Amino acid sequence: MTKRSRQQTIRELIANKVVGSQEDLRVLLREAGWDVTQSTLSRDLRELRIARLPTPEGPRYVTPETLGADNGDRTLVEEVLPQFFSSVDGVGELLVLKTIYGGAQPVAEAIDDAGWDEVIGTIGGENTILIVCRSSNARETVANRLRRIADA
């Protein structure tokens, strides 16, 4: 009955159901025994810092934790690189790829998944990825490939 428990319920609903609008949420809450207006929900969501994320299937409310984790299913280098790419440079067998802040992790993962022969492994920080290549030559190849993909 209290505001706090209502907000707790909201958290659970958001985590477990598809909530596309505050009106959706209102209905779910009614089934759970609460009856409040959309205004209240707007304020609740703000206090809970629950974000609204647009998706191909329409808007969805998500918790910040989910937001970080749910980067969708975009694991293709071709898809993710053009969005995050900043620059590429290197020395010896080492390639250093820079991305916009927060982009290193997803891009590193995508490169890993690509399974390129020239690449031995990757390490991603916040905005920098270290790519260890098989040779200096391989480094050039990969660098060029990355540049081409980034420009797509």
The region of 3-11, 24-32, 141-149 touching a second copy under the rule CB under 8 A is 3-11
Cα 148 from Cα 137, distance rounded (Å) = 17
Q: Which CB atom, from 36 or from 96, has the smaller least distance to a second copy?
A: 96
Whole-number Å distance between alpha carbons of 46 and 57: 23
Q: Please report, for residues 14, 27, 37, the alpha-carbon distance to residue 23 in angstroms, rounded to integers and kept in the order given.
A: 13, 6, 9
Positions 16 through 45 that interact with a second copy (CB under 8 A)? 42, 45
Q: How far is the CB of 15 from a second copy (least distance, A)?
A: 6
3-class secondary-structure state, position 98: strand
In the complex, least distance from residue 79 CB atom to a second copy, rounded to whole angstroms: 11
Rule CB under 7 A: choose which of 8, 12, 27, 59 binds DNA. Answer: 59
Q: Answer yes or no whether residue 49 interacts with DNA by CB under 7 A.
A: no
Q: Phi first, then psi: what are they for 61, rounded to 5°?
A: -85, 135
Listed in sequence order, the DSSP H helices in the chain are 3-16, 22-31, 38-48, 64-69, 77-84, 104-114, 136-151
**Per rule CB under 7 A, is residue 13 in the interface with DNA?**
no
Q: Which residues of the chain form contacts with a second copy (CB under 8 A)?
A: 4, 7-8, 11-12, 15, 42, 45-46, 48-56, 62-72, 82-83, 89-94, 96, 98, 100-103, 105-106, 108-109, 112, 120-130, 132-135, 152
